[in-house]
A = this chain, B = another copy of it.
Amino acid sequence: MSKNFSVVGQSLPRADARIKAVGAAQYADDIILPGMLYGKLLRSPVAHARILNIDVSQAKKLPGVKCVITGDDTLKIKFGNWRLVPESQDEYPLAVDKVRFIGDEVAAVAAIDKDIAEEALSLIKVEYEELPGVFSVEEAMAEGAPVIHELNPNNISLQRKIDYGDLDKAFAECDLILDNEFKVHAVSHAYMEPCACVAEYDHNGRLTVWTSTQTPYFVQCLLAKTLGMRENDIRVIKPFVGGGFGGKMELRKWEFCAAFMARQTGRPVKFTLTRAEELATGRRRHPMSIRSKVGFKKDGTLVAKEFTAYLDGGAYNSMGPTAAFLCGNFGGMLYRYPNYRYNGYHVYTNKPPAGAMRGFGAPQALFVAETQMNMAAEQLGIDPLDIRLKNAMETGDEIPGVATISSCGFKESLLKVAEMTNWREKRRQLGKGKGIGIGCYSFISGGVFNWFNTQYNFTRAEVRAFDDGTVHLLTMASDIGQGCDTVLRQILAEELGLKMEDIRLTAADTAVTPQADLGTWGSRVTLMAGNAVRKAAQEIKDQLYKVVSLKFDLNVIHDLDCRDGMVFAKNRPDRGIPFGEAVRLAQRANRGEPIIGYGSYTPRGKGLVTPAFSFGAQVAEVTVDMETGAITVDEMNTAHDCGTPINPMSVEGQLEGSVHMGLGYALCEQFIMKGGKTLTATFLDYKIPCAEDMPPGKSVHVETYEPDGPFGAKEAGEGLVSPTAPAIADAVYHATGYRCTELPITPEKILRGLGKL
């Protein structure tokens, strides 16, 4: 591992900073095409019903309306991201026969303006036969509960298991067993940019869709399936995207409707969701009911854990199968659990479907795990820091066949954050409404799993080198605001010894960029696309090294390098030529062929979960007003291991965002539901922390070198949404004696918990 980097490790401004700052970035809703129509969706006003009839005749007659469709107009093909398990695909592009939640898409209109489209919706007459609904996992699993999907008479759509060691034997040997129940709630991605897309059907029978998505490839494939078209007759382009956080990684009904109606009318069709639609009907983080039984030796050694999670999936599977799997994995990570059993149940309810969201099973699993660590520390009389140090995973740890920890800076993170916060002293001394608490995390750097059943490598990069000293990087990786357009260019610039401005990037266009990339989720991009970029760069270098070797008649033992715009023999930098000149000569040698490098990456031999794990520890300091229960987070400090940061400033931004999101999850964000109805459908009702709510604090990188990551890099910024809630909960407990086991932590709960209400 050489630390002598030129571009990697630099806090460079993001490639998209300027264009976003000046307001020139084009998002999907900024796209206006000649003759474009505006689409609107008619959503179910009832949580569970049979559709008896839909009459669109009046809507069709409204002047300016060009197209009205219902499920009957479609091919009625079910879809979902889990192509590997076709029966898990449980959504229709538009409702067929039944609606299953308030907001379920029933019909769509395309009209010459938004108001007419809106008015047309009001003219569609739907006859529903209402059915009883279920609104919690408990109701859904109760004997005789109404059935939401016929395939799943018990409303459990799937069960995931993890099991290793001998649990019964292990528990029998424990000195302390905690057996607790927890409830965690749903929160919104609350991305700045509501979903939008524009679809255009061309004169050759091909479709182009610009959409605010994390996963252009998924949208392409699933549109093809549902429209009855061939994948490669569909082109999906990701314009600038204003955040996704997991909420934009599936085919969405409006993408289908835009495409379908564009094909039907021959005119481009745009859909832009309102914030109310996003909040009231959009995907959200899975609420869960969790039971966790965990056993320790007297000295704090973790011995066994039995973890059962009931995921409230809402009306459809969405990414629930993955959430159910990952939640179990996160429940058994971070510490060494020699004996572990997990049962995860994905349960249908008549609520808006939960989906993937930043952390994806980890915030729930780790709120439970970290809270129980804090409980155990107290009961065993051990400092929460020490009990963690005792059990912390280390480099080289392995869960056979499941996961290998090829780099781990967890202990260093624990020690670092303790040092930063003066943990031991404060933990002993605070009180009177002041508390300090800790939460930790481990997270994945992309997934090994192939539920989308792609036949392509997980990611691929193409690099074209030119004799003017520039290169062009083509990748289907999707920058949705997390900064991969910058990071991938840094990786390439480092590899080729070029400057950032030497690199042109074309990304996320399924018709142009190399097949395929699975998109932005699970913190996969830096590691996976980064590795592909490095391999592609290596192919370029191989070609250039040949001509330099030839030109200077180099002995075979010479090592060559690209740096500062030169290609040269490492120990004889005088034997070198500028990068562009090397390209020119390589082309001469190639008889005019262009100089191109390709690289692909698919994790292999890395278990079932991820090629690399990140780690970190966070300490929250709070003040609780003992009269009102009001919580002020005074400080939030973090030490974390993301391997070698490619762009420290960018990592910093991710971490700040994580703290913000973790804070909202812990304290104030929640959907108030009445039956299946989401009452908090504006940002006045659904409270996300404001800038002024952000606590001071630092985050420090504990640098490790991840052998499977590009230049040693791994995940940053997704894992860190998890420790905040348990850290704050622990600090509140430290301050007040109230132990929260049901998020969010509200003043009311504190006061009730303390017997003051």
Contact = CB atoms under 8 A, between A and B. Distances in A.
A224 B580 CA distance: 15
A511 B224 CA distance: 27
Contacts of A18: 203
Contacts of A454: 592
A468 B514 contact: no
A581 to B, nearest CB: 12
A206 B504 contact: yes
A683 interface: no
Interface stretch (A147-155, A456-464, A620-628): A456-464
Nearest to A24: B203
A339 interface: no
A455 B465 CA distance: 13
Nearest to A230: B468
Interface in A230-276: 230-233
Interface in A469-506: 469-470, 472, 501, 504, 506
Nearest to A580: B230
A588 interface: yes
Given A204-B501, A504-B233, A511 B472 contact: yes
B512 A506 contact: yes
Given A231-B468, A455-B467, A594-B460, A203 B600 contact: no
Contacts of A588: 455
A599 to B, nearest CB: 10
Interface centre among A22, A206, A594, by most B CB within 10 Å?
A: A594
A205 interface: yes
A466 interface: yes
A15 B504 contact: no
Given A501-B205, A594-B515, A232 B457 contact: no
A216 to B, nearest CB: 15
Contacts of A386: none
B231 A592 contact: no
A16 B460 CA distance: 33
A677 interface: no
B19 A203 contact: yes
A71 to B, nearest CB: 25
A506 B501 contact: no
A200 to B, nearest CB: 10
Interface string A42-54: 0000000000000
A587 to B, nearest CB: 5
Contact of A202 (B19, B468, B501): B19
Given A233-B470, A501-B205, A506-B512, A457 B22 contact: no
Contacts of A640: none
Contacts of A511: 472, 504, 506
A231 B504 CA distance: 12
A602 interface: yes
A515 B602 contact: no
Interface centre among A464, A512, A588, by most B CB within 10 Å?
A: A512
Nearest to A235: B504
A543 B512 CA distance: 21
A717 to B, nearest CB: 24
A587 B455 contact: yes
Interface in A165-216: 202-206
Interface string A506-538: 100001101110000000000000000000000
Contact of A15 (B204, B230, B514, B592): B204
A483 to B, nearest CB: 15
Given A455-B584, A455-B588, A587-B456, A230 B470 contact: yes
A511 B470 CA distance: 12
B230 A469 contact: yes
A467 to B, nearest CB: 7
Nearest to A512: B512
A593 B587 contact: no
A3 interface: no
A576 B515 CA distance: 26
A203 to B, nearest CB: 4
Contacts of A591: 457, 602
Nearest to A514: B594
A512 B513 CA distance: 9
Interface in A266-305: none
A457 B593 contact: yes
Nearest to A19: B203
Interface in A687-713: none
A592 B203 contact: no
Contacts of A504: 204, 206, 232-233, 511
A37 B504 CA distance: 26
Nearest to A501: B205
A540 to B, nearest CB: 14
Contacts of A455: 467, 584, 587-588, 592
Interface string A593-608: 1100000101000000
Contacts of A470: 230-233
Contacts of A15: 204
Interface string A10-25: 0000010011001010
A501 B204 CA distance: 8
Given A15-B204, A232-B472, 14 more contacts: A18-B203, A22-B203, A230-B469, A231-B466, A455-B467, A455-B584, A455-B587, A455-B588, A456-B594, A457-B593, A472-B511, A512-B512, A516-B594, A593-B600
23 contacts: A18-B203, A19-B203, A22-B203, A24-B203, A204-B501, A205-B501, A206-B504, A224-B468, A230-B466, A230-B469, A230-B470, A231-B470, A232-B472, A233-B504, A455-B587, A456-B587, A456-B592, A457-B592, A458-B592, A460-B593, A506-B511, A516-B594, A592-B602
List the 7 shortest-distance A-B pairs measured between CB atoms, nearest first.
Answer: A457-B592, A19-B203, A230-B468, A232-B470, A232-B466, A515-B594, A18-B203
